[in-house]
Amino acid sequence: MPRKTTHSNPRPPSRLHRRSSKLGLPAGSLVHTGERRMLATALTLFNYDETGLEEVRFDNIEASHNYQPRYRKIWLNVHGLHDPAVMQEIGRRFNLHPLMQEDILNTDSRVKVEDYGDTLFVVGRILSYESETESTDMDQVSIVLGQNFVLSFQEQPRGALDSIRERLRQDRGNLRKQSSDFLAYALLDVLVDRCFISLDALTEHTEKLEEDILDPRQRDILIRLHRARRETLALRRVIWPLRESISSLQRGGSKLLQPETLLYLRDVYDHSVHLLESIDALRDLQSGMLDVYLSSVSNKVNSEVRMLTVITTLFMPATLIAGIFGMNFHYMPVLEEHNGFYWSLAGMGLIAVVMLSVFWRSRWLK
């Protein structure tokens, strides 16, 4: 019966990745390891500086061959990574290290920051909470920061970066005037902010579960709790290395980062620490809920054993009395008593009442 309920809730996507498909190839081999969703590659280019902004969209890499940037700074965003040729061409133009290209294509890279000297490479995750499955979907986002350019790579467009595009177009928050590292910071900030949405959804889900725990009509509490804990751990595993990465960025002293940007990075770092603390609070709450649930199960066994004992205790003496007066001895003078039958019934009732009152006094009945 629990089985069926389990089937009706679709199993959340596995968080435990598999890498073995790429084994045996030399490091730096460009193989796309994501699921081959047939989305066309799309390149969106923002060419801007404080004097102006040009937004161009290429449908394939060849279309961009003759493009000449008019402004000083570039942000190139790439959706759809299934074609290694695109990566190779971008890597050639922006002079990216083969290992970096490999990590961008491999859609299961670890969250990290790597300093390649003239470029900074950040691997993050973008979280989208899917309300119908009550789970969080995770996509890899790779960000490359160079002297005057920022590259960002995603599997699928998710709308997360739209707010930054809008700020660029309207030149809000001086985004155009600031150097490229500030744009990279803004992308990171969006990634961290998306985590708050997932965490809020998880928190709400957990607090709903907390109310359900003592409701006897609720079923599958434990499996739902198990899943909530799994989701929480999965979230933690995204944010923990993110925090480490931002912290190493701050300490790293890359010449690509302006001092003012470092101040803003400290703010993102602060948010990621806040996220971790909230996740740990959530996990503590979930552990406590598990204790309460397991103990409430024990208490139920307890009260049912007690009910069994009460019933047995009420009926056994009466049954014995009935058995005694059903014996066939030839000389049983009590049977001759005129009101014997009624006296015996009264005796049975009396014993039951006495027992009930004893139970009542020892607070056994509820």
Provide, rounded to whole angstroms, the least separation between the CB of residue 347 and a second copy. 11
Question: Which of residues 95, 163, 248, 357 is near a second copy by CB under 8 A?
Answer: 163
Comparing CA positions, the residue from 143, 98, 151 lying closest to residue 125 is 143
Amino acid in position 160 = A
212 binds a second copy (CB under 8 A): no
Three-class DSSP category at 48: strand
Of 6 and 357, the one with the shorter C-beta distance to a second copy is: 6
> Which of residues 215, 251, 253, 361 is near a second copy by CB under 8 A?
215
Distances (CA, A) of 286 to 80, 289, 295: 37, 5, 14
Token code pair at residue 40: 């066309």
Site for a second copy in 14-33 (CB under 8 A): 14-20, 23-24, 26-28
DSSP letter for each residue of 241-287: HHHHHHHHHHHH--TTS-HHHHHHHHHHHHHHHHHHHHHHHHHHHHH
Q: Which two tokens stand for residue 80?
A: 């759809």
Q: Which stretch binds a second copy (CB under 8 A): 31-39, 62-70, 80-88, 107-115?
A: 107-115
* Shortest CB 63 distance to a second copy, Å: 31
Strand-strand pairing, 73-79 and 149-154 = parallel
Q: Are strands 135-145 and 120-130 parallel, antiparallel or unpaired?
A: antiparallel
Stretch that binds a second copy, among 30-38, 47-55, 132-140, 286-294 (CB under 8 A): 286-294
The reply to whether 83 sits near a second copy by the rule CB under 8 A is no
Radius of gyration of the chain (CA): 34
Among 51, 147, 319, 357, contact with a second copy (rule: CB under 8 A): 319
| Size of interface with a second copy, in residues (CB under 8 A) | 117
Catalogue the long-range contacts made by 2-6 (C-beta closer than 8 Å, 24 or more residues apart): 2/219, 2/220, 2/223, 5/219, 5/220, 6/220, 6/223
Q: Which range touches a second copy (CB under 8 A), out of 61-69, 80-88, 249-257, 327-335?
A: 327-335
Contact flag: residue 332 with a second copy (CB under 8 A): yes
CA distance 209 to 221: 7
Of the pair 32, 194, the CB lying nearest a second copy is at 194
Indicate the residue among 41 and 109 with the shorter CB distance to a second copy: 109
Does the footprint of a second copy cover residue 9 (CB under 8 A)?
Answer: no
Q: State both tokens at 111.
A: 């969250």
Q: Which of 69, 317 has the CB closer to a second copy?
A: 317
- Contacting residue, 31, 39, 316, 346, with a second copy by CB under 8 A: 316
The residue from 8, 66, 253, 326 that contacts a second copy (CB under 8 A) is 326
Token couple for 280: 């740990």
CB of 230 to a second copy, least distance (A): 6
Under rule CB under 8 A, residue 133 binds a second copy: no
**In contact, 212 and 287? CB cutoff 8 Å:** no
User: Among 294, 350, 353, 358, which residue sits at the site for a second copy (rule: CB under 8 A)?
Assistant: 294
Residue 259 touches a second copy, criterion: CB under 8 A? no
DSSP 8-class letter at 14 = P
Determine the residue type at 244: E
Using CB under 8 A as the binding rule, whether residue 186 contacts a second copy is answered as yes
Q: Decide if residue 208 touches a second copy (CB under 8 A).
A: no
- Tell me which residues in 333-362 interact with a second copy (CB under 8 A): 335-341, 344-345, 348
Of 43-51, 66-74, 141-149, 201-209: span binding a second copy (CB under 8 A): 201-209
Query: What is the DSSP-derived secondary structure letter of residue 64?
Result: G
Q: Which is nearer to a second copy, 40 or 346 (CB)?
A: 346
| Strand ordering across the sheet containing 135-145 | 52-58, 42-49, 73-79, 149-154, 135-145, 120-130, 112-115
